[in-house]
């Protein structure tokens, strides 16, 4: 083949290669511009109804809530579950003093054991009888009651002669029970009266455990299936209303209070009684500020609280809280409070910390009203309805 033929064949090959490349490029561009037919949307995935006991399932009675994100997609938000406050069930109040009898007996052993030791040794002379009197007086029994008890014991010894411990215990039990007076009405007003709640006002000096006593009394009444409302009319002591409200919340009892420290206590008490009436409660317990019995202005203010309450409802009960360790000073306190607010019952606190159980007799004689409740410890259920027989048995056990 000549050189000219070779050159011509090479040009033909190059031309054919260029045409093939051009056709390939055109086909590629045409594929990109071609629109595919629309596809039907895919079916949503099958859902499964949660079964009972399925931990992954939200509660059936809880509505599902969604939140909108920035991308416009709704996501399931887990439900907010509010914690349920734990409501306590107080121990039954019936027979509570008998269950606490051992604690009471330990605190009053000086009185009971001292008397039994003196009277059981036989050959009682005047010095022995003076020792009996001293034991009774140091137990805060009071002069009048002490003289009555000693005279009765002297007569028994003279007539019957026997002084063994079992006999002396019987004598003491009978005479002390007479002094404590089981015939007094010790029921705390806690039931509706003429279609309205019973109103109980709680008063006392500073430091007697008054607010705590109101809280414990609420537990006693709740244990008796009473519908209770608390009124926080102690508006001067810091955190007194908070303390009372905490007691109420523990047993599911509402507290009516003012959020302003130093608010008018009479107004709070009035609102509490009104609120209890609207709620158709069985009883409303009004906590008042502690005050010194020898401060005329404070006692006048307490009288004002009482008068304001009475514009809304009669007061069915005024409980005076006394510290059992205060002795004769407690009797003076009781006397002054009774003059201002007409006390109807006594609550003796801290009776577990003293050997002076005679204060029960002394305060009843001083005011002519019964001891209705006694505090025998720091526990929430250590406030007990007063049981004269259980009390006397504890004194001489």
Show the beta-strand stretches assigned E in the chain: 65-68, 74-77, 198-204, 228-233, 255-256, 283-288, 317-323, 345-349, 371-375, 383-385
Domain boundaries of the chain, sorted by first residue: 96-180, 198-389
354 known ligand binder: no
pLDDT digits (tens, 9 = 90+) for 117-128: 877 776 778 888
Q: Residues 342-387: pLDDT tens digits?
A: 999 999 998 876 667 788 999 999 899 999 999 888 889 889 899 9
CA distance 247 to 231: 12
- Is the pLDDT assigned to residue 291 strictly greater than 70? yes
For residue 253, give the DSSP letter: -
The answer to whether the annotation marks 235 as part of a ligand binding site is no
206 is annotated as contributing to ligand binding: yes
> What per-residue confidence (pLDDT) applies to 138?
85
- Is 209 annotated as belonging to a binding site? yes
Contacts of 154 (CB under 8 A, 6+ apart): 129
194 is in an annotated binding site: no
Ligand-binding site membership of 65 (annotated): no
- Predicted pLDDT of residue 71: 45
In this prediction, residues 152-181 reach a mean pLDDT of 86
- List residues bridging with 286 in a β-sheet: 201, 231
Q: Would you state the pLDDT for residue 237?
A: 82
357 labelled binding-site residue: no
* Sign of the alpha-carbon dihedral angle for 214, 216, 221, 227: positive
Rounded Cα distance, 363 and 190, in Å = 23
- Give the pLDDT of residue 57: 41
So what's the architecture of 96-180 in CATH? Up-down Bundle (1.20)
Is 255 or 65 the better-scoring residue by pLDDT?
255
Pick the residue with more confidence: 72 or 290?
290
Q: Is 291 annotated as a binding residue?
A: yes
Distance CA 184, CA 178 (A): 11
Cβ 67 vs Cβ 78: under 8 Å:
no
Q: Tokens in use for 321?
A: 């809280």
Q: How many CB atoms lie within 10 A of CB 7?
A: 9
DSSP 8-state symbol, 241: H
Asked whether 393 and 363 are in contact (CB, 8 A), the reply is no
State the average pLDDT for the chain: 79
Look at residue 205 and give its three-state secondary structure.
coil
DSSP secondary structure letter of residue 60: T
Is 210 annotated to bind a ligand? Reply is yes
**Which CA distances in Å does 264 have to 301, 310, 315, 345?**
10, 16, 19, 26
**Residue 49, pLDDT score:** 40
Check residue 244 and give its pLDDT: 95
Please tell me whether 208 is known to bind a ligand.
yes
Among the ranges given (50-54, 61-65, 311-315, 371-375), the one the predictor scored with the smallest mean pLDDT: 50-54
Q: Is 350 annotated as a binding residue?
A: yes
Confidence (pLDDT) at 207: 80
Is 282 annotated in a binding site? The answer is no
* DSSP letter (8 states) at residue 2: -
- Ligand-binding annotation for 26, yes or no, is no
Q: What is the pLDDT of residue 315?
A: 97
The residue among 146 and 396 whose pLDDT is bigger is 146
Q: Which CATH class is domain 198-389?
A: alpha beta
15 is in an annotated binding site: no
pLDDT for 275 beyond 60? yes
Please tell me whether 205 is known to bind a ligand. Answer: yes
Q: Is the pLDDT of residue 292 over 80?
A: no
Residue 166 has pLDDT above 90, yes or no: no
């Amino acid at each position: 083949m000549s050189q000219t033929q070779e050159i011509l064949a090479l040009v033909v090959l190059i031309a054919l290669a260029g045409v093939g490349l051009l056709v390939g490029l055109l086909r590629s561009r045409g594929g990109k511009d071609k629109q595919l037919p629309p596809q039907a949307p895919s079916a949503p995935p099958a859902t499964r109804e949660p079964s009972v006991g399925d931990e992954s399932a939200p509660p059936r009675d809880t509505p599902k809530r969604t939140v909108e994100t920035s991308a416009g997609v709704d996501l399931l938000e887990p439900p907010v579950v509010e914690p349920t406050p734990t409501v306590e069930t107080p121990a039954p109040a019936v027979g509570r003093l008998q269950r606490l009898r051992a604690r009471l007996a330990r605190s009053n052993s000086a009185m009971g054991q001292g008397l039994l030791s003196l009277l059981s040794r036989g050959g009682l002379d005047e010095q022995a009888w003076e020792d009996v009197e001293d034991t009774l007086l140091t137990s805060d029994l009071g002069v009048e009651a002490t003289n009555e008890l000693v005279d009765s014991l002297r007569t028994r010894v003279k007539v019957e002669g026997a002084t063994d411990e079992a006999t002396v215990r019987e004598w003491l039990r009978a005479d002390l029970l007479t002094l404590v007076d089981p015939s007094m009405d010790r029921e705390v007003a806690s039931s509706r009266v003429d279609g309205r709640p019973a109103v109980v006002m709680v008063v006392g000096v500073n430091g007697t455990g008054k607010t705590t006593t109101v809280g414990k009394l609420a537990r006693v009444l709740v244990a008796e299936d009473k519908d209770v409302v608390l009124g926080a009319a102690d508006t001067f002591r810091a955190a007194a209303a908070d303390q009372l409200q905490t007691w109420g919340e523990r047993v599911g009892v509402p507290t009516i209070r003012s959020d302003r420290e130093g608010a008018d206590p009479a107004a709070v008490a009035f609102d509490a009684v009104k609120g209890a009436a609207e709620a158709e409660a069985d009883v409303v317990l009004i906590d008042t500020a502690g005050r010194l019995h020898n401060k005329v202005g404070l006692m006048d203010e307490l009288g004002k609280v009482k008068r304001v309450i009475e514009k809304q409802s009669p007061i069915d009960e005024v409980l005076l809280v006394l510290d059992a360790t205060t002795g004769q000073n407690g009797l003076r306190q009781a006397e002054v409070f009774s003059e201002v607010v007409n006390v109807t019952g006594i609550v003796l606190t801290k009776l577990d910390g003293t050997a002076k159980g005679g204060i029960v007799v002394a305060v009843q004689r001083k005011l002519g009203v019964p001891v209705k409740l006694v505090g025998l410890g720091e526990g929430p259920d250590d406030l007990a309805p007063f049981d004269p027989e259980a009390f006397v048995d504890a004194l001489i056990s």
